Structures are given as structure tokens and as C-alpha cells.
Amino acid sequence: MKKVIVLLTTKVATFNNYINGQWQESVNKKTFYSVNPANNEDIVGSFQASNEQDVQLAIEAAQRAFTCWSQTAPSKRASILNQAASILEQNAQALAEELTREEGKHVDDAKNEVLRSAQTLRYYAVEGQSFTGETFPNDDSNMKVSTEREPLGVVSVITPWNFPLSIPARKIAPALITGNTVVFKPSSDTPLMALRLVEALDKAGIPKGVINFVTGKASDVGDLLVTHPAVRAVTFTGSTAAGEDIHKKAGFTTRTQMELGGKNPLIVMDDADLNLAASLVVNGGFSLTGQACTGTSRVIVLSDVKDEFVQKLVEKTSALKIGHGFEPGVKIGPLANEKQLKNVLKYVEYGKQDGATLEYGGDHLTSDEYQKGYYVKPAIFTNVNPNSRIAKEEIFGPVVAVIEVDTYEEAIAIANDVEYGLSASIVTNNLRIANQFTKDIQAGTVKVNRTTTGNLMNAPFGGLKKSSTSTFRESGRVGLEFFTQLKTVYMGY
């Protein structure tokens, strides 16, 4: 959670949990603040610091609501999602401004996120209505064999702060349309945005208990959300450490879907359009202030073109305007919280200590306009040892490590030599290399001549190795699979 530095002189709004269709205080009546990362004197709101009793109530409400919701007509479930989407769309500008105030990203990016979240609700409202089983040919002419897809029951949804609306939307929409009920715990850095999504569903007429919302620290509420016997599935996005913890704690009959960290490489081949390559690294590495799970954090460049590429990269990076998310033209906002700031500065120090060359940036910005926020200048390191910490560990901030290699084979070996496998890209015009790359690279999302960031709502998303559990993908039609179980029916007649 964020540290509040200056005491408030203005009244702060208090927001409640949402359990069994009622907005209510936590049982212990404790609260915490959500703070604007661009101005730590600006308190966005006060939220419930819940404990396990609140989670228990939320899970029980979800359990009670399950039978009725799972039998509710899919068209009715879809119309609630569509109605909630309309509410998000009608309030897109106001919500975008709140999102910027709470998380820090530029208001244009925030508005795109609000609209994308609405589209996600609409997408699953349609896809979910035609998501069904299969029938199987068999030798008995008096028997039909088919699979039925059924909802699981109560699903826990646990989400991070970097896409505070769109990540919850891509989990909650497929859970609800397939007939599950939900207990949703958002990041304590962005509870307001999460609440706005629940509020939209409430206003859209979702029956009581179908979605429940509990805010609070992972250490107070996390375990029960994962281990309660009524919870049939946990869908989680966040750090690999937390994901591993949840995966280990979840019971034998609880499904887990974990979308975790990344250390995403972009390879620049010697035939690459270097202007394009530099722009892709700037967009993939520094947009959202480097706080995207698919952000470019390693650039592996062929030595023949390294100097020219680095020159272009520094040139483009130094042109990026750093500032408040409401200012036009700003490309880099604050980091989301003080912990993020300290982490990024720590990794800049590791880079220097490990002998890499800091070509650009890495400074903590503290002059007038930045002093109340968590601002850093994006950092570019060259001469990075592929075994050093900045080359191996997720930083989740605007730090790019440039590693020089002599061959494509060497580039692939380094690209794959990390514990993550979320997203990867190559910049080349060589069709053979581009195709070879799609086979060689260990990543769940593979791109050619595109940024490592960004994924379609209607295509599967997920990682390999420690970037995801190797169970179910998110997004697209396959995103519905996690939330349903199969029954095989042999119908003789």
C-alpha cells in the first residue's frame, strides 16, 4: 500500500466492500488510503481493510447465489454484462480521469482501458452464449455422446494495479457469463477502479451475491480467498512470487489460472529497420512507465548494428515527455507507488554495480513539478552481461538492458535463458529468420516487427515457464474454458 506523507485537510470519501448486494463496511471497520502516485498529498479514497471474516461472508454470499445464477438464462446474464458495458462507456471520460489519478497512466491510455474493458464485457456477452460442448460420432446408432460445459461455482478473482479495470474485466466477464459467482479482491493500490467495475455491474442489475468485492491486504485476506473449500477456482494476475504461493496453497479441487511476471526480449537483427526497432523498444519498454507485464526489458542486438541502434534509441527516449497523466503529450507518468520507485532505483544501482554502461536516464526526478510523485527518467543500459540481475530479473519499470550478440543463435540462447516466457519480439525482414524465431523462442506471445506489449481481446493470452501456470489461457474464446468443467454424456435411446 502507498505511504501517506502529508495529513489531509480536505475530507476523503470512504468506499465500502460489496457483499451479498450490499455496500458495507468491513467487520473490523479498519480502512486504508489509496493515494495518487503523481501527488502523494492527494488521497483518492479510503477503503475497507478487510479481514477473513469479510472474505467468509463474501464467499458464503457467492455460494448461496450460485445455483440461481448458474440456472439464469445466458441471454439474461449477457444483458447484464452489456448494460454494465454501457455504464462504463457513458462514464468513460470521468472514469479515465479517476484511473489516471489512482494509477498514474496518461488519461488517453486510461480512456482506452475503460473502453477496452467495456468491449471485453460485450465480447464475452456474445462468445459466452455460444460456448458449448461437442458431440462425438460412435458406433452405436442408438446413442448420442456429447460433452456439456458447466460452471464451476465460486471463483476468486485477484488482480494487480497496472490495468486496474481491464484485467478484472477479462476475468470477471467470462466467469459470470458461464454461470459462476465471484469474490473479487483488487490491488490495494487501485481499489477505486475495481469498485467502479463492481458498481457498473450492480447498476446493471446483477443479482445479490453473484459478484462480491472485498478490499484489503493480501496478508489479511489472501489465504482464505485461495483455501476456502467452496472456492472452486482462483484466477490471479500479479507477481510470480505471489502466484507460486497461491498455486501451492490452493486445494486439490481448486483450479488455478496464474498470469505472472515477464522478462520480455526484443531481438534486433542486422537487417532490421533500426528506426522501427528503436520505436518498438521505446513503446514496449517505456509506455505505461515500463509497468506492463509484457514490457520490453531486454534488447538483444546484433553487433553490426548495435551502435546505430543505441544512438536512435537514446534519441527517441530523450524526446519522451515525462509528467502528469493529465498533461497533453506526456508519454511517461509516475511509477504507481513508492515501492515501485524504490525497486526501479535499486535495479539501476545493480546495473551500474554489475558493470553495465548507463547510456541514458535512471535518475529519480525530484524538481518542483515531480517532487510529490514517483517519477524516474527511463533508463537504457548497454554492455549488459546476460547473467547480471538487470538481464535476468523482472524490474517492472522503465529500464531497458541492451545485450550485444554476434549471431541469431546466440540471441535466441540468451532470450530463452531466463525463468520467464511471457512475450517476445524480433525485428527483421528476413522471412526465414522470422519463422524460425516463432519456433525457437520460449514465450506464450510471439511477435515479429511489433512491440512485445499489447494483445488482442479475442486471441488467447498467457505465458510459458514461470510467466503462467501451464493450465488455461486468458482472453479470447479459450478464456472461457477455465471457468467451465466438462461432463461427458452417453445418451442411449
The residue ranges that bind ligand NAD (CB under 6 A) are 158-162, 185-188, 218, 222, 226, 237-239, 242, 245-246, 259-262, 293, 394, 396, 422, 463, 467
Pick between residue 215 and residue 428 the one whose CB is nearest to ligand NAD: 215
Cα–Cα distance measured from residue 338 to residue 254, given in angstroms and rounded to the nearest whole number: 34
Cα–Cα distance measured from residue 78 to residue 83, given in angstroms and rounded to the nearest whole number: 9
Closest distance to ligand NAD from the beta carbon of 473 (Å): 11
E-strand spans in 411-452? 420-421, 423-427, 445-448
Beta strand 484-492 pairing with 464-465: unpaired
Contact 372, 40 (CB under 8 A): yes
Cα–Cα distance measured from residue 104 to residue 35, given in angstroms and rounded to the nearest whole number: 10
Cα–Cα distance measured from residue 405 to residue 383, given in angstroms and rounded to the nearest whole number: 10
What residue type is assigned to position 98 of the chain? E
The helix (H) or strand (E) run that includes residue 297 is strand 296-302
Closest distance to ligand NAD from the beta carbon of 246 (Å): 5
Work out the number of other CB atoms within 10 angstroms of the CB of residue 345: 18
Pick between residue 238 and residue 265 the one whose CB is nearest to ligand NAD: 238
Cα–Cα distance measured from residue 481 to residue 126, given in angstroms and rounded to the nearest whole number: 15
Pick between residue 114 and residue 250 the one whose CB is nearest to ligand NAD: 250
Pick between residue 200 and residue 246 the one whose CB is nearest to ligand NAD: 246
Closest distance to ligand NAD from the beta carbon of 220 (Å): 10
Closest distance to ligand NAD from the beta carbon of 368 (Å): 29
∠174-177-183 over CA atoms, to 5°?
70
Pick between residue 218 and residue 464 the one whose CB is nearest to ligand NAD: 218
Cα–Cα distance measured from residue 45 to residue 193, given in angstroms and rounded to the nearest whole number: 11
Pick between residue 382 and residue 453 the one whose CB is nearest to ligand NAD: 453
Pick between residue 437 and residue 461 the one whose CB is nearest to ligand NAD: 461
Backbone angles phi, psi at 403, to 5 degrees: -120, 130
Find, among 222, 170, 169, the residue nearest to 200 by Cα: 169
Quick check: is 52 catalytic? Answer: no
Cα–Cα distance measured from residue 60 to residue 66, given in angstroms and rounded to the nearest whole number: 10
b/e sequence 121-132, b meaning 16+ C-beta within 10 Å: bbbbbebbeebe
E-strand spans in 139-262? 143-151, 154-158, 181-185, 211-213, 231-237, 255-259
The single residue of 293, 359, 394, 481 carrying the catalytic annotation is 293
Pick between residue 260 and residue 402 the one whose CB is nearest to ligand NAD: 260
Closest distance to ligand NAD from the beta carbon of 99 (Å): 15
Q: At what angle do helices 191-203 and 166-177 cross, to 10 degrees?
A: 40
The single residue of 102, 127, 259, 404 carrying the catalytic annotation is 259
Contact 2, 33 (CB under 8 A): yes
| Cell representation of residue 300 | 538483444
Closest distance to ligand NAD from the beta carbon of 222 (Å): 3
Closest distance to ligand NAD from the beta carbon of 304 (Å): 33
Work out the number of other CB atoms within 10 angstroms of the CB of residue 23: 15
Find, among 213, 198, 177, 202, the residue nearest to 72 by Cα: 177
Closest distance to ligand NAD from the beta carbon of 422 (Å): 6
Pick between residue 254 and residue 467 the one whose CB is nearest to ligand NAD: 467
Backbone angles phi, psi at 104, to 5 degrees: 105, -20
Quick check: is 68 catalytic? Answer: no
3-state DSSP assignment of residue 169: helix
Closest distance to ligand NAD from the beta carbon of 446 (Å): 15
Q: Which residues are catalytic?
A: 259, 293
